[in-house]
DNA sequence: ACTCAAAATGGTTACGTATTCATTTTTGGT
DNA sequence: ACCAAAAATGAATACGTAACCATTTTGAGT
């Protein structure tokens, strides 16, 4: 591997000068500059980023621990995060993690002394929170948040669940089911609580079988859908805990020869880009703002990194219903 | 920052022993091992990946230069690549590049001495090919390929274009338009040539206005759709150069109150995961194999890295039509 | 021509790890 | 109890860069 020393020898200058040519060329005379540049070109020299990171103790790299891309929410956020970060001169180390392999992912992120970490799937009582704090690594969570209630960007999940149910009620539905994810996740938990509150406020009955909180796999969702539709008094509407779940439900419904919304109304939460596609037109609840959560998160994170500002980030975006075509009056 | 020296001091051993505890614990006695582990834990020591990379000259990192995620093809491939790489113990540095900022992306990838590079959007005569070869960095391209015709994984693009047109012809269409991407890209070019060949083989006429090769932005596609539908003899079918384009076209069509396939049949190429969703059911041409191109590419790349095998990779997957619901007999 | 400040360049070191080689400690056979 | 071999540990060094400080060169003002 050709190093700056090789370049120096080839150009007849010191290694220091080579370094200067690359990092502060204003301090080096034109002729020397040219000599060095020629040598760099002749030898196809490329500086070693690791050596630089080692001595400078910064990496211009951000670690992104995202949920899986088969969830369109993470497609939107990952895209926004990587684009903005690149724009600002940071590289992004992406890992798509499931809750099991979380610790492994944390470890490799920390080993590489990234300038910041952005987490989508932190657990309520995740020890990583304290760890990152103690190591003084800037970080932010989006989508989910930690029980410490700091450094997060989220939508108003309770309100989202509430509005989803309210929307169905306003459409005249009274038999409304809930299909959400694990309640150990702050996001799903709050959305669920919002849903319950709306049901309660409107004095609707909610049979136990109408509530399904499960893992977010396609299999599980398929199973949930079957169970709901085979009930004696089957629901006429389903509030899904996330657009990804809603999209699964719709997929299953269609494949089982139900039509949406004629046979059953379905609403999601998140307002992912895909939901507005002409073929989908998913009714959903999402942030009022144009920017997705990933964008907000990376913007704040880079702000933290560069301004070293310590003011705690707590952003909760307001939400509204986006009424499209997967729900209708009964 | 706490280093292995600090740990050594705290445990009363040499730095060498600390390194050994982490990398070859079988050579260190149980009591020393425990002492060191305790010190590591006490001090919250995390080894510095950059220092390690520097001395070992390997990074366990792969750079992925992918197309943008708003194209569902890259969602599928990115997901497959990152999952497989992580499974095999590699981290993945993802960049979503547009053809303009390609060089910048190359540079940061190379600076960090990644173990391998995987490229989705190489240009036909891209100098990066020679550069990576000269630097002895293993790499592979998927989707597109370089004119050197080496180290790539692709589907049979010509055949895909041919089959798309043939499918429409078999459905009785005679007025078939083409909406593809820039022809400087190997993928689009070959698909287009296949399309042309099918039209020619079946002795159909192809008015000049039926051929639109443009950039793959939503705007451009919207414009293309309008132009086609306003023709005096408007086509009854469109072959799209990729599923992403087909999905855009369908989105536009629906928003303009056309119905697919009643008003117009549309077929894509790639068979992205999304295309089989119940609400979409896009007819498309895709690889016969279950695995997507990203998976094939990363598998080959890691093989190259680990076995240092130099046999040139040239994989072209056969294709077939997946007949769903966006095309119909006329 | 001479002085002195400013500009340009070079020598040396630190960053944190793994590796190589040298040294010390332990073990087992007599 | 002694010795050789094996096991365990340590000291020194390299990796490639940036930063710090020292030195040399340049140039402006007299």
Neighbours of A131 (CB within 10 A): 15
- Every domain of chain A and the residues it spans: 4-56, 61-155+291-318, 157-287
Contact in structure between A319 and A156 (CB atoms under 8 Å)? yes
B230's tokens: 């306003």
B215-to-B221, B244, B249 alpha-carbon distances in Å: 8, 12, 13
A279's tokens: 């073929």
Chain B contact for A251, CB < 8 A?
Answer: yes
Element (H, E) at B167: helix B157-170
Rounded Cα gap, residues A63 and A104, in angstroms: 13
Q: What is the per-residue pLDDT across B3-56, written as a single tens digit (0 to 9) for each?
A: 999 999 999 999 999 999 999 999 999 999 999 999 999 999 999 999 999 999
> Does residue B111 lie within 7 Å of nucleic acid chain D, judged by its CB?
no
Residue B294 has pLDDT above 90, yes or no: yes
Rounded Cα gap, residues B288 and B114, in angstroms: 32
Site from B278, B294, B324 to mutate, A interface, most A CB atoms within 10 angstroms:
B278
CATH architecture of A4-56: Orthogonal Bundle (1.10)
Element (H, E) at A177: strand A176-180
Entry pTM: 0.93
Q: CA of B36, closest CA in chain A: separation in Å?
A: 18
Dihedral of CA B216/B217/B223/B229: which sign? positive
Put simply, the answer to whether A1 touches B57 (Cβ < 8 Å) is yes
Burial B237-246 (b: 16+ CB within 10 A, else e): bbbbbbbbbb
Element (H, E) at A39: helix A30-43
Contact in structure between A137 and A116 (CB atoms under 8 Å)? yes
Per-residue pLDDT band at B310 (split at 50, 70, 90): low
Tell me the helix, strand and coil percentages in chain B, rounded to 5.
Answer: 45, 15, 35
Burial A3-34 (b: 16+ CB within 10 A, else e): bbebbbebbebeeebbbbbbeeeeebeeebbe
DSSP A234: -
Put simply, the answer to whether A278 touches B49 (Cβ < 8 Å) is no
pLDDT number for residue B124: 86
Dihedral of CA A169/A175/A176/A182: which sign? positive
Neighbours of B49 (CB within 10 A): 23
Pairing of strands B283-287, B319-322: antiparallel
pLDDT number for residue A184: 85
What integer is the mean pLDDT of B203-216?
A: 95
A4-56 and A61-155+291-318: identical CATH topology: no
**For every one of its 330 residues, what pLDDT tens digit does chain A have, with 9 covering 90 and above?**
899 999 999 999 999 999 999 999 999 999 999 999 999 999 999 999 999 999 999 899 999 999 999 999 999 999 999 999 999 989 999 898 877 778 888 888 899 999 999 999 888 888 999 999 988 899 999 999 999 999 999 999 999 999 999 999 999 999 999 999 999 888 999 999 999 999 999 999 999 999 999 998 899 999 999 999 999 999 999 999 999 999 999 999 999 999 999 999 999 999 999 999 999 999 999 999 989 999 999 999 999 998 866 678 999 999 999 999 999 998
Neighbours of A90 (CB within 10 A): 23
pLDDT number for residue B309: 65
Dihedral of CA B182/B187/B192/B193: which sign? positive
Dihedral of CA A268/B260/B292/A82: which sign? negative
Which phi-psi region, left, alpha or beta, contains residue A136 (left: φ > 0; alpha: ψ -120 to 50)? left
Q: Is A229 helix (H, G, I), strand (E, B) or coil?
A: helix
Site from B61, B69, B111 to mutate, A interface, most A CB atoms within 10 angstroms:
B69
Give the contacts of A259 (CB within 8 A, at least 6 positions apart): A253
CB-proximal positions of chain C, under 7 Å? 7-12, 14-20
Rg (CA), chain A: 25
> B61-155+291-318 belongs to which CATH class?
alpha beta
CATH 3.40.50.2300 fits B157-287, yes or no: yes
Cis geometry, peptide bond prior to residue A261 (ω within 30 degrees of 0)? yes
The C-alpha angle A275, A279, A284, rounded to 5 degrees, equals 25
Q: In angstroms, how far is C30 C1' from B27 CA?
A: 28
Dihedral of CA B130/B131/B135/B138: which sign? negative
Put simply, the answer to whether A78 touches B69 (Cβ < 8 Å) is yes
Cis geometry, peptide bond prior to residue B261 (ω within 30 degrees of 0)? yes
Rounded Cα gap, residues A10 and A325, in angstroms: 69
Q: Is A298 exposed, middle or buried (CB count within 10 Å of its CB: 0-12, 13-18, 19+)?
A: buried
Question: Which residues of A are less than 8 Å from B93 in CB distance?
Answer: 91-94
What integer is the mean pLDDT of B108-115?
A: 90
Tell me the helix, strand and coil percentages in chain A, rounded to 5.
Answer: 45, 15, 35
Give the contacts of A63 (CB within 8 A, at least 6 positions apart): A92, A93, A95, A109, A112, A114, A116, A117, A118
pLDDT number for residue B71: 95
Q: Is A273 helix (H, G, I), strand (E, B) or coil?
A: helix
A294's tokens: 């990933």
Contact in structure between B92 and B61 (CB atoms under 8 Å)? yes
Among A91, A135, A273, whose Cβ lies nearest the Cβ of B93?
Answer: A91
Rounded Cα gap, residues A141 and A145, in angstroms: 6
Question: Which residues of B are less than 8 Å from A53 in CB distance?
Answer: 50
Q: What is the per-residue pLDDT across B46-64, written as a single tens digit (0 to 9) for each?
A: 999 999 999 999 899 999 9
Chain B contact for A165, CB < 8 A?
Answer: no
Residue A264 has φ and ψ, to the nearest 5°, of: -155, 135
Helical residues (DSSP H) of A88-148, grouped into ranges: 102-111, 128-134
Per-residue pLDDT band at B308 (split at 50, 70, 90): low
How large is the angle between the packed helices B4-11 and B15-23, nearest 10 degrees? 110
DSSP B288: S
Q: What is the rounded (10 degree) CA torsion for B316, B321, B324, B328?
A: 140
pLDDT number for residue B134: 87
CB-proximal positions of chain D, under 7 Å? 7-12, 14-20
Rounded Cα gap, residues A238 and A229, in angstroms: 11
pLDDT number for residue B17: 96
């Amino acid at each position: 591997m050709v190093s700056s020393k090789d370049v120096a020898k080839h150009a007849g200058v010191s290694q220091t000068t080579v370094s200067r040519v690359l990092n502060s060329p204003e301090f080096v005379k034109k002729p020397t500059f040219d000599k060095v540049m020629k040598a760099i070109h002749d030898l196809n020299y490329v500086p070693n980023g690791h050596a630089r990171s080692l001595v400078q103790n910064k990496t211009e790299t951000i670690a992104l621990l995202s949920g899986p891309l088969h969830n369109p929410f993470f497609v939107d956020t990952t895209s926004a995060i990587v684009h903005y970060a690149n724009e600002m001169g940071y590289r992004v180390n992406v890992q798509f993690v499931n809750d099991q392999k979380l610790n492994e992912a944390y470890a490799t992120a920390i080993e590489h002394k990234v300038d910041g970490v952005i987490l989508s799937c932190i657990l309520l009582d995740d020890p990583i929170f304290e760890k990152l704090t103690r190591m003084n690594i800037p970080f932010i969570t989006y989508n989910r948040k930690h029980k410490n209630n700091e450094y997060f960007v989220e939508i108003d999940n309770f309100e989202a669940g509430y509005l989803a149910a309210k929307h169905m009620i306003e459409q005249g539905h009274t038999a409304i089911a809930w299909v959400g994810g694990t309640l150990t996740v702050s996001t799903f938990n709050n959305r669920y609580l919002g849903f319950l509150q709306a049901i309660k406020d409107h004095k609707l009955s909610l049979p136990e079988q109408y509530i399904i909180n499960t893992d977010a796999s396609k299999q599980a969702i398929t199973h949930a859908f079957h169970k709901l539709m085979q009930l004696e008094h089957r629901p006429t509407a389903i509030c899904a805990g996330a657009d990804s779940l809603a999209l699964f439900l719709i997929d299953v419904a269609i494949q089982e020869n139900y039509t949406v919304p004629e046979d059953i109304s379905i609403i999601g939460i998140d307002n992912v880009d895909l939901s507005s596609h002409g073929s989908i037109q998913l009714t959903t609840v999402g942030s009022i703002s144009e920017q997705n959560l990933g964008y907000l998160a990376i913007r704040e994170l880079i702000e933290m990194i560069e301004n070293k500002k310590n003011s705690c980030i707590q952003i909760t975006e307001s939400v509204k219903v986006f009424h499209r075509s997967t729900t209708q009056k009964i």
